[in-house]
Amino acid sequence: MNDGLALDRGSFWRSSWFRLIAFGVVAAAILTYCVARGRSAEPVSYRTSEVERGDVVARVSATGSLAALVTVEVGSQISGRIQSLFADFNSTVKKGQLIAKIEPSLYVAASQQARANLLAARASLERAEVQAADAQRQASRARQLFEQKLVSENDRDAAVTNARATAASVSQAKAEVERARSALSQADTNLQYTDILAPTDGIVISRAVNVGQTVAASLQAPVLFTIAQDLRAMEVHTNVAESDIGRLAAGMPVQFTVDAYPGQQFRGKIREIRNAPQVVQNVVTYDAVIDVDNAELKLKPGMTASVSITIERADNVLRVPNAALRFQPPGFDMGGAKPARVPNERKRKPERAVWVLRGKEPVRVPVETGISDGTLTEITAGDLKAGDAAITAITSGGGDDAPRSRMPRIL
């Protein structure tokens, strides 16, 4: 009997412990549920941006460098020492103006020598002509005497041969005169080359020599100066990526900035797009040449230009941030719902939508879009109006673990 009583007491205590554990598990589950309910009650906050009217401008960005329309390199045709300089950096020069002089003494001497050689050649020609005339008379007399049987045939032939030889000497003397005249012309030309003249009107943008420096004109004329013809009109050579080149055309407006004037924008137009590719490290670009007005002479050759080329623009249109077009509430799914069909439209663009806060509730509004500038996008159709609050992000209360008992509305 005592054994039975002990058995009943053990069963009782085991049963009590089991009920206590079960009660604890249930209580923990209820507590967890309540905490989750409390968390789910936290309000969801959204970051919004106001739908507004304004301009949307699509642009292609690139970099380039400024250059003069016409640049002329002034060289030297002869070798020698620079005796004088009459132009320097930024000097304004006129066509034909003396800008440098090479020591001329050697070329003066060469010209004088060539002139003396010409005089000597002319004297030799005169002597040859006199000798030829005398030989011709001797030959004529020898023929007459031979006919009269007064001289032998050998004497006659010798006189005729001498006449022919002196005539050839005259031809040779004439050739020597022409050679001397050509040498004099070359010597005089080289003497003229000691004066370095500006080949065009413009501004000196580079000077590569100093007084006393020797220049050597062997196979290629050394460059002494670089002259820009007119800096009031310049051009920008812009490297445009091959992915963008198809969107460009001559006449498109261009805006650009330079580091020298960070707060100022300069304008121009595309003159031409060159077909020759430029390949650097397997990257293909094309040169778009832009005409620029530089009446104030602020821009200088070689400046780096940050170029923005206007491709399209839409003025005074509804526009939203691109972030609003990318936004989608966490966990939201169309659930296989099909978008409404548009009559007589067989091929539709991928549907885009903007989420808008209406009555503190997010509403999905399908839209059609136009051009984009990379930050803002034009809205061409859809139930949007200026002043609507377009959702761009969730700021709080919208984690992935939040219950989905209340789904956003869809228009």
- pLDDT digit string (tens) for 48-60? 888 889 888 888 9
352-358/389-396 β-pairing: antiparallel
352-358/202-207 β-pairing: unpaired
Q: Which residues pair with 100 in a beta bridge?
A: 85, 196
Which of the listed CATH numbers 3.40.50.80, 2.40.50.100, 2.40.40.20, 3.40.50.300 matches domain 73-103+194-228? 2.40.50.100
Topology alike, domains 46-58+316-410 and 60-69+229-313 = no
First vs last Cα of the chain: how many Å apart? Answer: 80
DSSP character at residue 34: H
CB 65 within 8 A of CB 237: yes
pTM above 0.85? no
Using CB atoms within 10 A of its CB, is residue 196 exposed (0-12), middle (13-18) or buried (19+)? buried
Half-sphere exposure (Cβ direction) of 360: Cα atoms closer than 13 Å? 3
Alpha-carbon distance of 155 to 143, in angstroms, equals 9
Is the pLDDT assigned to residue 143 strictly greater than 90? no
Is the pLDDT assigned to residue 311 strictly greater than 50? yes
pLDDT bracket for residue 379 (50, 70, 90): confident
Please name the helix (run of DSSP H) or strand (run of DSSP E) that holds residue 109, with its range, or none: helix 105-147
At 7 the pLDDT is 44
Which of 13-22, 91-100, 192-201, 299-308 has the weakest average pLDDT?
Answer: 13-22
Is the pLDDT assigned to residue 84 strictly greater than 50? yes
* Top-tier CATH class for 60-69+229-313: mainly beta
- Kindly report, residue by residue over 338-360, the tens digit of the pLDDT: 444 444 444 455 578 889 888 87
Cβ-based neighbour number of residue 288 at 10 Å:
27
Q: Measure Cα distances from 96 to 93, 103, 199, 228, 278 in Å.
A: 9, 19, 6, 15, 38
Mean of the pLDDT values across residues 187-211? 94
Please provide the size of the chain in residues: 411
Better pLDDT: 309 or 399: 309
Percent of residues, the chain, with pLDDT higher than 70: 81
- Residues with Cβ within 8 Å of 154's Cβ and at least 6 positions away in sequence, in order, are none
Please name the helix (run of DSSP H) or strand (run of DSSP E) that holds residue 365, with its range, or none: strand 361-372
Instruction: For domain 46-58+316-410, give the CATH number.
Output: 2.40.420
Domain map (residue ranges) of the chain: 46-58+316-410, 60-69+229-313, 73-103+194-228, 106-185
Q: For residue 92, give the amino acid letter.
A: T
